[in-house]
Amino acid sequence: MSLLIVGSVAYDSIKTPFGEVDRALGGSALYASMSASFYSPVNMVAVVGSDFSEKESEYLNSRNINTEGLIRKPGETFFWRGEYSFNLNEAHTLETKLNVFEDFRPKLSSKLKKSQYVFLANIDPDIQMDVLDQMVEPKFVALDSMNLWLDIKKEKVLDVISRVDALIINEEEIRQLTDEYNVLTAVKKIFQTGLKYLIIKRGEYGVLFFEKSEPHKIFSLPSYPLEVVKDPTGAGDSFAGGFMGFLAKADQVNEIQLRKAVVIGTVMASINVEDFSLNRFKAIQEEDIYKRLEDFRNILHFEEINV
Ligand code: AMP
């Protein structure tokens, strides 16, 4: 089924305790699209500047990512500089230059408006709302955001949340969003908005998946244990991309498929963080994903216990 992903395409300068890169390709839409494209064709909507090479677009097209919605404008591509200390769960933003994103308002073609699965990756909530307004009866819409937008446009983020099916957000952000420290209290509060599903990303500790019901259904999954983590940038977007790509492929939104999608998201995030930028996604083959999935299944397995 058709999957649309809107978000940022960026040049990132990143420093972690294990190395650094300057102006490497990144952005929320790009990480999510690369991850999703292992499962489903993707239509990516974003804007780039004149510094973005045509070769990159051609590469994305060769990877099942349609760039018809990738607008090129005079000026510079979005730029993000971030740094991590040994706590790889927390990115420190040192610089954000919106550049061509500043006044970007995407106009979707009639084909893209009819996409069934939509991921509004982290970007200005005004842009997310703009895209949502253009969609014609999507089946499933998921949303991500970040602390910057919660600092300066919290009300707008809440408006968008009230119109989507699922929110994929990290633990600190759900606290900031709801002004609640306890995660379960925060979940109760956020479900008052009409949201049906909530996924809380907990970095190296895994994810919590909640379905709105009485009582809430919860699925808790650890992350895949890794010895080498070079760069956590894009882990959340890779999770969301795998999650959405899998759902779009299954074309069924029910508890079983959602749980499988959470597993796939976790596996894709674990692959992405093994190297900087999109290097791992560029290098892996499908067999690498199957292998990781099988290892993960073995790690998670335990027999029924009679006590
Ligand atoms: P993640 O590590 O999953 O939170 O995503 C990191 C990616 O988000 C990087 O590639 C950045 O370019 C991108 N990013 C950082 N800040 C923003 C922002 N304010 N809006 C959109 N994308 C951003």
What is the structure's pLDDT at 194? Answer: 87
Contact present, 76 and 100 (Cβ < 8 Å): yes
What is the structure's pLDDT at 218? Answer: 95
Residue 9 to residue 123: CA distance in whole angstroms: 10
Instruction: Assess if residue 64 is contained within a domain.
Output: yes
pLDDT tens, N- to C-terminus, the chain (307 residues): 899 999 999 999 999 999 999 999 999 999 999 999 999 999 999 999 999 999 999 999 999 999 999 999 999 999 999 999 988 888 999 999 999 998 899 999 999 999 999 999 999 999 999 999 999 999 999 999 999 999 999 999 999 999 999 999 999 999 999 999 999 999 999 999 889 999 999 999 999 999 998 888 999 999 999 999 999 999 999 999 999 999 999 999 999 999 999 999 999 999 999 999 999 999 999 999 999 999 999 999 999 999 9
Q: How far is the CA of 304 from the centre of ligand 1 (A)?
A: 41
Nearest atom in ligand 1 to 31's CA? 10
Instruction: Assess if residue 256 is contained within a domain.
Output: yes
3 state SS of 305: coil
Instruction: Assess if residue 124 is contained within a domain.
Output: yes
Q: How far is the CA of 173 from the centre of ligand 1 (A)?
A: 14
Provide the CATH number for the domain around residue 146.
3.40.1190.20
Running DSSP on this structure, what letter comes out for residue 122?
Answer: S
Nearest atom in ligand 1 to 30's CA? 10
The amino acid at residue 90 is E
- CA torsion angle 234 255 116 291 (round to 10): 50
Contact present, 27 and 230 (Cβ < 8 Å): no
Q: State the pairing for strand pair 19-26/10-16.
A: antiparallel
Q: State the pairing for strand pair 78-83/92-97.
A: antiparallel
Q: Domain range spanning residue 160?
A: 3-300
**Residues 6+ positions from 206 with CB-CB distance below 8 Å:** 220, 221, 222, 223, 266
Instruction: Assess if residue 305 is contained within a domain.
Output: no
Name the strands in the sheet holding 92-97, side by side, starting at the edge strand that comes first in the sequence. Answer: 19-26, 10-16, 78-83, 92-97
What is the structure's pLDDT at 90? Answer: 87
Six token digits for residue 172: 């600190």
Q: How far is the CA of 199 from the centre of ligand 1 (A)?
A: 18
Instruction: Assess if residue 49 is contained within a domain.
Output: yes
Q: How far is the CA of 298 from the centre of ligand 1 (A)?
A: 32
3 state SS of 287: helix
Q: How far is CA 113 from the centre of its chain?
A: 20
Q: How far is the CA of 243 from the centre of ligand 1 (A)?
A: 18
- Ligand 1 binding pocket (C-beta < 6 A) is 8, 10, 12, 26-28, 80, 91, 96, 122-123, 146, 148, 233-237
What is the structure's pLDDT at 103? Answer: 87
Nearest CA to ligand 1 atom 11: 27
Instruction: Assess if residue 295 is contained within a domain.
Output: yes
Instruction: Assess if residue 306 is contained within a domain.
Output: no
Long-range contacts formed by 190-193: CB under 8 A, 24+ apart:
190/161, 191/216, 193/158, 193/161, 193/162
Running DSSP on this structure, what letter comes out for residue 275?
Answer: S
Nearest CA to ligand 1 atom 9: 27
The amino acid at residue 100 is V
On the question of a cis peptide bond just before residue 125, with omega within 30 degrees of 0, the verdict is: no
Q: How far is the CA of 122 from the centre of ligand 1 (A)?
A: 7
Nearest atom in ligand 1 to 232's CA? 2
Report how many domains make up the chain.
1
